[in-house]
Amino acid sequence: MQIKKMVSLITVIAIFNFGVFPLDSVMAKTNNHSVAEKPASEPKDRIESEDQSKTTNPIKSTNQNKVKVQNKVKDQNKSTDQSKIQKFAVDKPLKSDSATEIANNLPIYLKDWMKYLKKGDCEKKCTLTYDDVLKLIEDEKITGQQAAVLGAIATQLNDENSTKETFTLKQLQKLFSPNNAIYYSYYYTAILNINGVRALSGPKEKLFGPTGALSSSTQIVQNQLGDCFILSAINGLLNTPGGPEKLQKMITRVPGKADEFLVKLPGDPKTMHIKLTQSKLAMYSNLTQGGEWLAVLSDAESRARRDNPESGIFNGGFQTQTLHLLTGKPYENKVLSPFTRKQVDTVKGLTKEQWSALIQLSSAQLAELTTLTPQQLESTLTKDQLKAFEELTSAQLAELQKINAAQWNELGTLVTNNKNNIDLKLLKTLQPLTQKQITEKAETYIDTALNKDKPPEIVGIETNDHDLTIIAYDRKTGTVTIKNPWGDTGWYNPVTAGGPDTKEPKNATTPPWFDMSKGVFQVQLTQLVESNFITITVPKSLVAAVKETKDKTSDKQTTDQAQSGVDQNNAVIDQAKASLDQANTNMSQAEKEKLKSEIDHAKAAVDREKALIVEVNQAEIAASQNGCQTSAAAQAKCQSKVQHLLSDLTQAESAAKDAADKVTTAVKHLDQ
């Protein structure tokens, strides 16, 4: 789920007073809202479900859809200014129609679309369905203004997750009316996307932008589509050594076909044939300097991830999925959010059916679990889900109500596997954590991935259900450098996903705000943790390596502690022997024999402890050598031996300590 950033009222007036955006006047009047004063057009929170017929889901991580037309104009200015058009021009740039002009042209567009769909000449009774849009965006004959309008409709369907929605001509005209600034902004962004490619010439330039190649400075700008999970993953590759070249190699233009491509994603076994139409170009997120590659890659990623290979439309997903497709490496989310022990126990006690019911509820409904009426539940849940929900106890409901919306999103990220199915096994890793523990864990993963691994790994981060990328970390200062796929410049709040504002908000109710430049901003790791929700996305191999390092550190601490105990116990034994030699001659032989027996017993226990320390060290050396690395089974067997010996060592350490304590007691009695 992501909160949309809507155009301000002044921007709305600018759009419909001038038809085409007057760049200078709009830019001078925008970005005038803060968290404390949200735009009136901002919609309520919404979370999607896997079932696209549902519109609310408090758990599945989807993505922030933002409508920031003023920034789109700013970001695309370089792609559409006259000097660049003259340099690369092969097609004239499209001029954006006014809302009234679009409404007047819709009957013509709809008639053409119905003809393509073979629905006949249906005049005013024509209806456009979700499936119709899927087919239409594949038609390369739909270009120019029609493509921009169709791209806006496709964006709307994605934005609302409206698989069952249909549009009549009258409804379409209402959507593009002067009273609907948000919908017009979809169209205006579509115009910018198309013009960004029209301004370029040459196959490499059209595909990868003016320079004909990708680099770490390639700038992505997320539009209204909920695709931050894809864009953040791509940003991760763009900012790692060799990453831009890897992205380029994934895409090959089909010989003799200007708009057809072969795409091979490292994490997908098949090679996909992608046809890039202007409608798709209009729909997908874009680049500040133009180029087709992002739309091509987004379309391929969507198809690889979806059960329906023909569908290029998507909304909502997980960085773990995309990063696996783009790198070939499995990724996993590490949910680092402060949960109490009771909350953890309650969440782990939920059945799969109860999770299925809960993920259909909105954030607002989750906050009022105990007050939901039967009518509210029946309108949202299936019979099976309703039955599962009714089986929740009052104690469970009370504890679940204490979990905030952000934490629910993090839980959803954790409990949903890469196939978008609920997997309760994933909850095993959930533990109650303090903010200090969260900071330490986050630092370990981030620092290992970016500073210790060679080459560096990609690290994703989710805050307020918006996916971003961590591109640098300074361990000395604790400063995290993050790239936001919005690509904007301005003040941004990662806690609320607020902004970007042109000035730092003075009376914001929810700090902190950070100065973001082209999507990049810096934040203290502790500040992110204090926001109470944070999810780190890292390779599974890194998680395993961190765990192994921690295990080795823990093992060494165990053996070091045991060795220290040996030294202390030997000192006790030596002192006891000296005391026995100096004992009062009046001491009976029986008392001497008893003390000597205690000393011998303690010495045997210490010798056993010393021998186990040697065995543990030898077993750890063997576990790292070739004999234990031949297979996963061999590794597991060797590690199991180490753990058994460590367990024996812990017991031997305790026995030696007990024996030494008895010697100490006996010596004290001797002195008396």
Spatial distance between the Cα atoms of 249 and 265, rounded to a whole number of angstroms:
9
Report residue 54 as tokens: 């549902």
Looking at residue 323, its pLDDT comes to 94
Contacts of 467 (CB under 8 A, 6+ apart): 61, 63, 228, 229, 231, 232, 233, 319, 460, 461, 485, 537
Could you tell me if 481 and 517 are in contact, meaning their C-beta atoms sit under 8 angstroms apart? no
Looking at residue 477, its pLDDT comes to 94
SS3 514: strand
**DSSP 8-state assignment for residue 508:** -
Weakest-pLDDT range from 218-227, 298-307, 520-529, 581-590: 581-590
Could you tell me if 183 and 156 are in contact, meaning their C-beta atoms sit under 8 angstroms apart? yes
Contacts of 589 (CB under 8 A, 6+ apart): none
Per-residue confidence band for 63, with pLDDT thresholds at 50, 70 and 90: very low
pLDDT higher than threshold 50 for residue 639: yes
Mean pLDDT to the nearest integer, 40-65: 31
SS3 535: strand
Per-residue confidence band for 514, with pLDDT thresholds at 50, 70 and 90: confident
Mean pLDDT to the nearest integer, 189-194: 90
pLDDT higher than threshold 80 for residue 460: yes
pLDDT higher than threshold 80 for residue 115: yes
Contacts of 83 (CB under 8 A, 6+ apart): none
Per-residue confidence band for 453, with pLDDT thresholds at 50, 70 and 90: confident
pLDDT higher than threshold 60 for residue 29: no
Q: Each residue of 368-409: pLDDT tens digit?
A: 787 888 888 888 888 888 888 889 888 888 888 888 766 776
582-594 burial: b if 16+ Cβ within 10 Å, else e: eeeeeeeeebeee
Looking at residue 136, its pLDDT comes to 92
Per-residue confidence band for 417, with pLDDT thresholds at 50, 70 and 90: low
Whole-model pTM: value is 0.66
pLDDT higher than threshold 90 for residue 618: no
Could you tell me if 338 and 534 are in contact, meaning their C-beta atoms sit under 8 angstroms apart? no
Half-sphere exposure of 74 (CA within 13 A, CB side): 20
Spatial distance between the Cα atoms of 423 and 387, rounded to a whole number of angstroms:
20
Share of residues in the chain with pLDDT > 70 (%): 76
Weakest-pLDDT range from 8-12, 315-319, 595-599, 664-668: 8-12
Looking at residue 148, its pLDDT comes to 93
Report residue 366 as tokens: 């989750």
* Pick from 352, 327, 389, 311: nearest CA to 136: 311
Weakest-pLDDT range from 344-348, 423-427, 563-567: 423-427
Looking at residue 585, its pLDDT comes to 53
Looking at residue 120, its pLDDT comes to 72
Looking at residue 11, its pLDDT comes to 33
* Pick from 11, 26, 7, 16: nearest CA to 66: 7
SS3 392: coil
Looking at residue 56, its pLDDT comes to 32
Return the higher-pLDDT residue of 468 and 374: 468
Looking at residue 668, its pLDDT comes to 75
* Pick from 159, 194, 182: nearest CA to 282: 194
Spatial distance between the Cα atoms of 263 and 451, rounded to a whole number of angstroms:
31
Mean pLDDT to the nearest integer, 191-210: 89
**Maximum mean pLDDT: which of 40-49, 306-315, 623-632:** 623-632
Backbone angles phi, psi at 7, to 5 degrees: -70, 150
Return the higher-pLDDT residue of 512 and 146: 146
Amino acid at 271: T
Share of residues in the chain with pLDDT > 90 (%): 19
Looking at residue 118, its pLDDT comes to 84
pLDDT higher than threshold 90 for residue 46: no
Looking at residue 33, its pLDDT comes to 24
Return the higher-pLDDT residue of 100 and 500: 100
Mean pLDDT to the nearest integer, 197-207: 87
Return the higher-pLDDT residue of 201 and 122: 201
pLDDT higher than threshold 60 for residue 321: yes
pLDDT higher than threshold 70 for residue 312: no
pLDDT higher than threshold 60 for residue 17: no
pLDDT higher than threshold 90 for residue 246: yes
**Matching residue, tokens 């997980």:** 318
Spatial distance between the Cα atoms of 193 and 499, rounded to a whole number of angstroms:
23
Backbone angles phi, psi at 409, to 5 degrees: -60, -40
pLDDT higher than threshold 60 for residue 37: no
Could you tell me if 463 and 533 are in contact, meaning their C-beta atoms sit under 8 angstroms apart? yes
Looking at residue 35, its pLDDT comes to 25
| Mean of pLDDT over the chain | 75
Contacts of 534 (CB under 8 A, 6+ apart): 336, 337, 410, 438, 442, 461, 462, 463, 528
Contacts of 288 (CB under 8 A, 6+ apart): 75, 76, 78, 79, 219, 221, 487
DSSP string, 440-499: HHHHHHHHIIIIISSSPPPEEEEETTEEEEEEEEETTTTEEEEE-TT---EEEETTTTEE
Report residue 99 as tokens: 């809302």
Mean pLDDT to the nearest integer, 61-88: 34
pLDDT higher than threshold 70 for residue 42: no
pLDDT higher than threshold 70 for residue 215: yes
Amino acid at 627: G
- Largest Cα–Cα distance of the chain, in whole Å? 123
Looking at residue 587, its pLDDT comes to 65
In 416-533, alpha helices (H): 435-447, 525-530
Contacts of 655 (CB under 8 A, 6+ apart): 605, 608, 609
Spatial distance between the Cα atoms of 218 and 160, rounded to a whole number of angstroms:
30
**DSSP 8-state assignment for residue 452:** I
pLDDT higher than threshold 90 for residue 80: no
pLDDT higher than threshold 90 for residue 55: no
Backbone angles phi, psi at 515, to 5 degrees: -80, 110
Looking at residue 329, its pLDDT comes to 92
pLDDT higher than threshold 90 for residue 10: no
Per DSSP, the chain holds a count of helices (H) and strands (E) of 27, 16
Could you tell me if 1 and 45 are in contact, meaning their C-beta atoms sit under 8 angstroms apart? yes
pLDDT higher than threshold 70 for residue 310: no
Rg (CA), the chain: 32
pLDDT higher than threshold 70 for residue 528: yes
Could you tell me if 516 and 503 are in contact, meaning their C-beta atoms sit under 8 angstroms apart? no
Looking at residue 543, its pLDDT comes to 79
Spatial distance between the Cα atoms of 559 and 577, rounded to a whole number of angstroms:
27
Looking at residue 419, its pLDDT comes to 60
Spatial distance between the Cα atoms of 300 and 272, rounded to a whole number of angstroms:
7
DSSP string, 108-161: HHHHHHHHHTT----GGG-EEEHHHHHHHTT-TT--HHHHHHHHHHHHHHHHHT
Looking at residue 328, its pLDDT comes to 93
Q: How many residues does the chain have?
A: 672
Mean pLDDT to the nearest integer, 118-134: 78
